[in-house]
Every structure is written in C-alpha cells, then in structure tokens.
Amino acid sequence: MTDFLTALIAHSFLQTALLAGLLASVGCGVIGTFVVVKRITFMAGGIAHAVLGGMGAALYYGIDPLLGALAAAILAALIIGTVRLKWQAQEDTLIGALWAVGMAIGILFIAKTPGYATDLMSFLFGNILLVPPRELWLMAGLDGILLLTVGVFYRQFLLVTFDEEFARLRGVPVTFFYLLLLCLVAITVVLLIQVVGLILVIALLTLPAAIAGHYVHSLAGMMGVATLLGGAFTTLGLGLSYAPDLPAGPTMILLAGGIYIASALLSHFITHRQARRQATI
Amino acid sequence: MMTPTPAVLIENLNFSYGAARVLEQINLSIMPGEFIGLVGPNAGGKSTLLKLILGLLEPQTGRIEVLGQTPRRAARRVGYVPQFPNFARDFPISVVEVVALGCLSGSAIWSQRRAADRAAAQQALAEVEALDLATRRLGTLSGGQLQRVLLARALVSAPEMLILDEPTANIDQRVEGEIFNLLATLNQRLTIIVVSHDIAFISAYVSRVACLNRTLLDHDTAAVDDHIMSQLYGGHIRRITHRHPHHD
C-alpha cells in the first residue's frame, strides 16, 4: 500500500484512475441503491452486457466507444423497461436474449476491428489504469445528470420503486419514471464499465448498496453509505492490486464480494440475536 | 330537489380475463355518504370490481362513473387500502415517509412540498391513532399496525371516498373491531366501500351489502337471509346469529 501511495503522487495515470474510481462510486451508490431495493439486478445485468454491441460498433466506425456504450445502454434500458411494463410474462426471456445478442453483436464488430484482443479484454474486465484524463469530464458530467435527476425527482422515484400500483392510482406517470430510472441505471453501467468492465459491473452496482442495506434503513442513507463504500472499494482495490501487479477491476470486486459475505453473516447474527433478546423480554 | 351525483355508478358492466368471465351484468349505484360492504366467495370478482372502480382495469362493456368522472380521473379523489400490499416489507422506509408519499400526485411533479407533506402525514397518522409509529421502520410493524398506516396513507390526500380490500384479513378480532370503529367514524365524512369475507361481522357496521359472485345482488343489511347466503355461496349455508362486542 505504501508503494501505491508513493506511486500515486508520482504518476498522473494513477491519479486519473483514482478519480475515475471515485466518480464511478457516486453512480454505484445512488443508482445501485435503487437497483437493490427494486430488485432489478438481472435487468441491470442485461443492460450491462447489451452495451458491448454499442461499444463494438462505435470502435468499428471510429467513434468513442464510451458514446457507443451510452447509446446501447439507453436503448437496451428502454426496450427492457417497455417489455417489463407492457409484456410482463416474457420479461426474463427478453432480458436473456438482449444480454446475449448485444454481446454477440459487439464481439462480431470487435473481431472485424484491428487491435481486437486487447480492446475486448479491457471492455469485458475494465482497465481503470487506461482511463484517459478527458474521460473524467464525461464521467463527471454523467454523475451530474444522475445527481440532478435523482435530486429533483427523489420522491417520485421512491414511490415508483416502493409501490407502483399506488403511484399509478395517485396519477404519478409510472411508465415515465420507471423508464427514466432504467436510463439512469444505463448511465451508471457506462460509468462503471470504465472501472471494472461490463462483466463485473453488476457486482459494483449492487454490492455496496446491499452492504449499506444491512445497517441503514432509509433510501437516502443507503445512497450515502453505498457511495462511500464504492469509493473505498475502488480506492483500496486499486491500492491492493498495484504492488503485486494484479488487474485492478477483479481486485475491487473480490474485496467488495468478501466484505459483502462477511457483512451478510454479521447482519444475520445481529438480527438473530435481537429477535432472541426480544423473545425473552 | 336535485338528486346528488352517485359516488359510484356502474351500468351493465362485464369483465373477463381472457376467456374467463369474471363479472357479468353488474349494476350498482352508491350514494355519497354510504358505507357499503362488498361480500362474496373467493374468486367471485370482488377485487376485480374494486380495480375497475379505481381505474386500474378497463371494462370490456358497460359504464363506470366515480364521483362524476371516469375511474382513472377520479382515482386521485379516492383513498385505497389494498388487501396485499404491493411492496417489499423490508423496503428501507419509515412509516411517516410511506404516509407522506400518499400526498404525491401527477399534477405536482415539480413541487417540493416535503415539509408540508410530512406534517399532513403526521396528522393522518394521528387520525388513525398511529402517530406513535411515525418514526418506525415499515418492516417492524405488526399486521394491525400496517393496516392503520395504509389507512393513513389513503387518508392523507383528503379523499372523498375510501375503498378497502379485506382490511382485516390478517389481523386478530380485537384489532378488526378497532379498525371498523375507526371506519364508522370516517363514514361521517366519507363514502366507504369495504370488501370482506365476513358478512356477519361487517353487517353490524355497513348500511348496505352488495353480494358478488360473478353477478351482483344488492341488499339492505337486514335483508341478508339464509336464502341469499346460499344463493351467493352456492351451497347449504347455516347462518349463526351472534353479537360482536365492538359495535358501539
């Protein structure tokens, strides 16, 4: 860890990586909380994997892959969301299909683009050390959109994630807010792909919020704690992977996964003990 | 003298889920201030009729008017307490937040009335005698406490009519009496429709009973006899007359 701190001061690419991790953790904390409480992890996984189609196409046509990823993620979110609202029985099949078709399209485009192997691996598993400094501005902009939208419509999102039927009765436009929420999930997926790649994105999107949910019992509180945890996992993952020269993304995910399991056991133990104590009163 | 607009007017209503006919030729008129009990066997169409009145389903044929409007337009003027809440009990939300969300509406998307809505939520909780639960987490409530909170959520937007689907299905008899006494008080200013499986219990509170088993039979409470019961439930029914301790 000392080596990392010394290198961090010396190398600007490490500073950029650290900032990218911190910017990504804002999305993972705020939107990851909605994904966890609304139980749409599989949907978010579908969006994340379908993104490869957009990245591959953008790479092939010489456009910034991140913009291709953003377009594909939003398109996938709108398709999945519309099917979920209008055609509920087929929801999981369609997510699975979109998941695989998106990846297949991406792989075909990448296969026909020079530099295939390196790019594919960094898209799938991320490489935070290769984030160009100019991408930080795009990430900050995406964070700004997330925070502004959630800040303005916090209660509408809360109601739609909590009780869709009641929201509909109150005349709240459920379809609009549900699709908007999925678009925010899509933006977050793109933010996180920079850091851990599209295969591991789902872990960073859900684990910090799930750990926060063990101890915090308000949505806003969960968002705050999950953002801090996301920042801690990306920073520590980067630091721990530096000296042994391990890939940073998987190190972050293993760290988050290990702490999630420990936290789930601890929270189960605490709940069990409280229930026993109450039973004896 | 002008006749008041019915709170609910249903004419020649039919509804099917696919090929299965659930409601057939329903005609019902509920006047403002009435306290109606909707009873009938399971799968008799009670919840479907409520969803049609609330505008959550569209009738295939026939007409429904609620408070002089289409059901969907009128839904904001109606408070609803569902039988099975559509939310996860472990959702990270406090009681006062749940009730305050009842103030939201489609016409006030940009408004940020958080403090005012919170104050209204506390007032609604006080009305259902559950102000002490305000800061509790939703997941820690008992069945009876949850019903009171859902009732407060339905009341917080100052509705003109209240619709409750089996409000006391999962709670003990003492709390059931308390909740119906509360409804009787609310009936002084609100039209109330309550779905129940327990015709004997609700007949002590409601002014009229609508018996639904695909078709609808409408009766004064006193007129419900063995013949009507067996017609409704489709078999031999033995009626036991008994007194409830919470009627006054």
Does B218 map to a domain?
A: yes
Which token pair is B108?
């006030």
Candidates B58, B93, B157, B165, partner chain A, best to mutate (most A CBs within 10 A): B93
Is B146 a domain residue? no
Which are the contacts of B214, defined by CB distance < 8 A and separation ≥ 6?
B21, B22, B23, B24, B44, B45
Give the closest of A155, A159, A168 to B56, CB-based.
Answer: A168
Average pLDDT for residues A173-190, to the nearest whole number?
94
B108 CB-contact burial (10 Å; exposed 0-12 / middle 13-18 / buried 19+): middle
Pairing label, strands B20-30, B8-17 = antiparallel
Q: Which of A189-193, A271-275, B143-147 has the lowest mean pLDDT?
A: A271-275
Using the structure block, give the residue that is written with the tokens 């939703």: B138
Q: Which residue has the tokens 């009766």?
A: B219
Tally the domains of chain B.
1
Residue B119 lies in a domain: no
The 3-state secondary structure of chain A reads: CHHHHHHHHHCHHHHHHHHHHHHHHHHHHHHHHHHHHHCCHHHHHHHHHHHHHHHHHHHHCCCCHHHHHHHHHHHHHHHHHHHHHHCHHHHHHHHHHHHHHHHHHHHHHHHCCCCHHHHHHHHHHCCHHHCCHHHHHHHHHHHHHHHHHHHHCHHHHHHHHHCHHHHHHCCCCHHHHHHHHHHHHHHHHHHHHHHHHHHHHHHHHHHHHHHHHHHCCCHHHHHHHHHHHHHHHHHHHHHHHHCCCCCHHHHHHHHHHHHHHHHHHHHHHHHHHHHHHHHHC
Q: Could you say which residues from 140 to 159 on chain B have a Cβ atom under 8 Å away from some Cβ of chain A? A: 153, 157
Identity of the amino acid at A214: H
The reply to whether B126 falls in a domain is: no
CB contact residues (below 8 A), chain A span 53-112, against chain B? none
Picking from A47, A63, A43, A46, the residue whose alpha carbon sits closest to that of residue A55 is: A63
| Per-residue pLDDT at A226 | 97
Q: Measured between CB atoms, does B51 come within 8 Å of chain A? A: no
Domains, chain A, ordered by start: 2-273 (1.10.3470.10)
Residue A275, token pair as written in the block: 């229930």
A193 interface with B at CB cutoff 8 Å:
no
Beta carbons of B98 and A37 less than 8 Å apart: no
Nearest to B101 among A152, A159, A213 (CB): A159
List the single residue in A155, A171, A222 with the smallest CB-CB distance to B106.
Answer: A171
Q: What is the mean pLDDT of chain B?
A: 84
Nearest to A170 among B85, B86, B105 (CB): B105
Instruction: Flag whether pLDDT at B235 surpasses 80.
Output: no
**Is B115's Cβ below 8 Å from some Cβ in A?**
no
Which secondary structure element, helix H or strand E, spans residue B46, and what is its range?
Answer: helix B46-53
- Whether B242 is covered by a domain: the verdict is no
Domain that holds residue B38: 8-87+159-233
Nearest residue to B124 (alpha-carbon basis) of B144, B143, B101: B101
Q: Which two tokens stand for residue B59?
A: 């009738």
Q: Does B79 contact chain A (CB < 8 Å)?
A: no
- Residue of A153, A171, A213 with shortest CB distance to B105: A171
Counting one residue from A and one from B, how many pairs have CB atoms under 8 Å apart? 75
Which pLDDT belongs to residue B162? Answer: 95
Assess B94–A contact: CB distance below 8 Å, yes or no: yes
- A221 pLDDT band (50/70/90 cuts)? very high
Residue B127 placed within a domain: no
Which region among A186-190, B48-52, B166-170 has the lowest average model confidence (pLDDT)? Answer: B166-170
Smallest Cβ–Cβ distance between B92 and the set A167, A172, A217 belongs to A217
Do the Cβ atoms of B91 and A162 come within 8 Å?
yes
Which range (A215-224, B117-126, B202-211) has the least confidence? B202-211
Sheet containing B78-81: give its strands across.
Answer: B78-81, B161-165, B191-196, B35-39, B208-213, B215-220
Condensed to tens digits (0 to 9), the pLDDT of residues B64-104 reads 999 999 999 999 899 999 987 888 888 999 999 999 999 98
Q: Tell me the C-alpha to C-alpha distance, in Å, between residue B137 and each of A41, A161, A248, B114, B213.
A: 24, 17, 38, 19, 39
Provide the pLDDT for residue B112. Answer: 66
- Contact check, Cβ <8 Å, A221/B92: yes
Q: What is the CATH number of the domain that holds B19?
A: 3.40.50.300
Restricting to A residues 200-259, those with a Cβ less than 8 Å away from any Cβ of B are 213, 216-219, 221-222
High-pLDDT (> 70) share of chain B, %:
85
Q: Are A144 and A123 in contact (CB under 8 A)?
A: no
pLDDT computed for residue B231 by the predictor = 59
Q: Do the chains contact at A162 and B101, CB–CB below 8 Å?
A: yes
Distance from CA of B223 to the nearest CA of A (A): 35
In a domain, B54, yes or no: yes
Residues on chain A touching B78 (C-beta within 8 angstroms): 169
Q: How far is CA A174 from CA A162, A164, B66, B84, B101, in A?
A: 11, 7, 22, 20, 14
Residues A35-49 have pLDDT tens digits of: 999 999 999 999 999
Q: Looking at the domain assignment, is residue B219 inside a domain?
A: yes
CB–CB of A180/A82 below 8 Å? Answer: no
Buried b (16+ CB within 10 A) or exposed e, A107-134: bebbeebeeeeebbebbbbbbbbebeee
